[in-house]
Amino acid sequence: GLPISLLEAMSYDLDVLVSDIPANRLPELTLDDYFKTGSISDLKNKLQYKIENIQFERKYDLSSYNWDNIAEQVDSVYQLILNKKII
């Protein structure tokens, strides 16, 4: 699943570089934030690009990953299931 360490880095508005595995595919990231899994040359190139074009403070919309909101959504699903009458 989604790495908590990635969300933590993003919560500090850090510029990130992650492998292009499906779990890391977030709409808040751009193509420049990914390197091809298993490609050392792509990792090297993307790291070099990030170093030369460093963004000291990025802003990410992490509202979709707010634990309070997620817990409320899960609770509403449980409540819906518990309150549903079986005919």
Tell me the pLDDT tens digit for each residue of 26-73.
Answer: 999 999 999 999 999 999 999 999 999 988 889 999 988 888 888 998
Domain contains 54: yes
Whose CA is closest to 46, among 16, 66, 23, 73? Answer: 16
Its domain, for residue 21, covers 4-61
Q: Is the pTM of this model over 0.85?
A: no
Domain contains 32: yes
Domain contains 69: no
- Total domains in the chain come to 1
> Which tokens is 86 given?
């079986």
Domain contains 83: no
**Is 10 in contact with 28 (CB distance < 8 Å)?**
yes
> Which tokens is 59 given?
């802003």
pLDDT-based confidence at residue 86 (cuts at 50, 70, 90): low
In the predicted structure, residue 24 carries a pLDDT above the cut 60: yes
Domain contains 79: no
Structure letter (DSSP) for residue 19: E
In the predicted structure, residue 85 carries a pLDDT above the cut 60: yes
